[in-house]
Structure formats: structure tokens, C-alpha cells
Amino acid sequence: MRKRISIIIFIIALLYILGGCAKRYKMSEEFFSQKPESINWNFFHGNYSATGISDNISFNGKFEILWEKKIREKLTGPMTIFKNHLAMPLSRRKIAVYDLESSAYLGKVKTRGISQTGLVMVNNIGIYALASPKSRVEAVDLRSGKREWRKKLSDVTKGSIIVDNQLIISCLSGIILSLNIANGEVNWEYDCKSRLSSPPAYYAGNIYQAADNGSLISLSATDGTVGFEQKLNGPLVGGVAISKLLFTSELDGSIYGIDPDNGEVVWNDKLNGPIWTTPAVYEDFVVWGTSGGELAAYDVENGEPIWKNDLTDVIKASPIIINGYVICGTLSGQLYSFSVYDGKQIDNREMGAAIEYSPVAYDNSLVVATQKGLITCFGEN
């Protein structure tokens, strides 16, 4: 009798778990009473210009845990946050959504493939790109769960942005496209004639794209016409960030501050190790992380080095800056917090596995995910 009861309890628990995992995410009506800027998440690294900053949260640089959750899946693209919902593209062909305050599982967007861009969204429309063999971009109405459109597109880079109701997306094949949010139709496209390993960024009406052949390209966001094409010395695989200047780096560790209007080099220097990351820009500081473990801050206007720290570990996730604190994760699972002003270490935590994607921040929360499926939300208790 006891054995039968145990079996029944086990079956009920299993059905409960499976039912929770199968739950579809649907955006509630309460979202639409919020300001649009609290709902939309149109970028992959802090903002349209990929500067990797968050100033709208209360953060003291300390890693105080609010909650942790083990999901036993790996991230396949960048995390995004809309209002207080955290969207995570995961290895089991879904984008899982969690409540940022309670960690509760809210459901999934079933993607039928591996999402490699993460979820970007405007109003109630969420958009993501699937890796091979699906090789397409899909738009879904997050309120109803209905798919609005899909477009065949291969080898999309890990990040996309939404600008003026356009999805700006680039492909390894060398193509940058502008897609209409409403129907997925192509507004314009441009062939960079080079492999593109990094996503695009936007600033003052222009799209900026770094190319593997060393070209830095400026295009009009309106119609894709070329503003300039500047040829540097080596592969540009880490992407660009734009503030007072445009900042990019070559694979060999060379870094640049460039005039975003004409592409002319204002200053340059070289760091110790290859760079695959996008820099973070805050006030008068631009910060890079290298595969050699160097984390370095420079003056944005003149390129003078301000501080450098040697983390002796590979930095693959682009650093972000929150309220004046540089947050950086490494492939050995170390998470660091430094003051952007002098490089002083504020905190350090062992996360137990590789951090391959940038942390994300919103309101009073900082979220970090490892490639062993540990999600940790930090904030002030």
C-alpha cells in the first residue's frame, strides 16, 4: 500500500514538473499599462550603441545574492530583460522566462531550434534568430503566443537591435539587413564582402558594423547607404560601442577610438591578448577585456590608459558597467566588480562554471548565468 502511494506521489510530482516546463509564456495585460521604455528591450549590450551601461539601478558593487536557480541548461545567446521578466535562450530549443523578483518560472517561448541572438522585443512582439539547421528569424506575439512571421536567414551573429521599427541584424556571410518589424520584409541590405563575427550597433541615425577583414562600416539606418568604410589593420571580431567616439578592437589586442562621423582614427593603443569582447563605455571611461585576462580602462577622448588589472583568466563575456562599477566574468567562473574610476576591486565571487555571456541589469537586480545552468540574481538585500 505504501509503495503504491509513493508511486502515485512520484507520478503526480513528475506531471507537475513536466507541466511547468511545458508552460507557454504569455505577456499579461498589465504590461501595457507600463511606460514603453520599461517594456522594450531592443539591444544586446546595454543600449542601442552597445555601451554596456546601466545607470537606472541601485548597486553598490557587492555581490549580495537575492536568489539562485539551477536549470541544468546552457545559454545559447545573450539574456534580455523586459520590465521585470528575464528571458534566457537555452540549449533545449526554448527561450525561458523568469520573474526577476521571485525567480518564478513564467513559461517558455518554444523556438523549435537553438536561439543564438536572444530575444529582442518592442511592445508585444518578440524576435529571435535560430541557428542551423533551422536558420531563420522568427517574430512572435508574446501576448497571444502566435507567430507573426518568419524569414529564412543563415548564420546570424549573436546579437541584434531594434531601431525605429526595424530589426537590424548581421550574418557571418557578410550581409547586414534591415527587416520590417511588422512583416519581416527586407527594408534594405548591404554586403560587407567579409565575414561578420560581431553584431551591429546604432548611433545618431547610423548603423555601425565591424568586419573580420578589418573594415569598419557606417550605414544610414534609414536606407542602408554608406557613410564611410574605414580599413584598419586586422580582424575586427569584438564589435563596436559608440559614445563620444566609436570604440572597436582588432583580434590581436589593438584598440581604437574613432570619429563616428568620418571614420578617422583619433587614438589607438594595444592590450595584452586577443580581444573578442565589446567594450563598455561610461562617462569618460572605456573598458576592454581580453582573452589574456587583462581588463583595462582608457580615457575616451585622448586614449590615455587610466588603470589595468590582470585577471589571469580568459574574458569572453563583454564587461558591463552598472552605476560606476565594472562587472566582468571569466571562463573559469570568476565574477568581479571593480570601480570604473580607479580599477579598485570591490568584490569577487566564484560562480562554479564558465561565464560566456554578459550579465544583464535592470531596476535593482544584476543577473549572471553560467554554462552549467546556474542563474544568480544579485542586488541589495
Domain range for 156: 25-52+64-378
In a domain, 18, yes or no: no
Q: What pLDDT, in 10s, does the model give residues 123-160? A: 889 999 999 999 999 999 998 889 999 999 999 998 89
19 located within any domain: no
362 found inside a domain:
yes
Would 1 be classed as within a structural domain? Answer: no
Of 273, 242, 271, nearest to 258 (Cα)? 242
Q: Can you tell me the distance from the alpha carbon of 37 to that of 166, in angstroms, rounded to the nearest whole number?
A: 17
Residue 190 lies in a domain: yes
Whether residue 207 lies inside any domain: the answer is yes
**pLDDT score recorded for residue 55:** 64
Domain assignment present for residue 59? The answer is no
- Cell triple for 173: 556571410
Which cell is 295 given? 581588463
| Integer Rg of the chain from CA | 21
Cβ pair 363, 357 in contact under 8 A = no
- DSSP code for 32: G
Give the position of cell 563616428: 260
- The CATH code of the domain that includes 179 is 2.130.10.10
Instruction: Check the CA dihedral 137-104-38-357 and report its sign.
Output: negative
Query: pLDDT tens digits for 82-131?
Result: 878 999 999 999 999 999 999 999 999 999 899 989 899 888 899 999 99
Give the count of domains, the chain.
Answer: 1
Q: If you average pLDDT over residues 38-47, what whole number do you get?
A: 61
Q: What DSSP element (H or E) covers 38?
A: helix 36-39
Residue 26: pLDDT band with limits 50, 70, 90: confident
- pLDDT at residue 17 above 50? no
Flag whether 10 is in a domain: no
Element (H, E) at 136: strand 136-141
Identify which has the larger pLDDT, 14 or 286: 286
Kindly report the average pLDDT of the chain as a whole number: 89
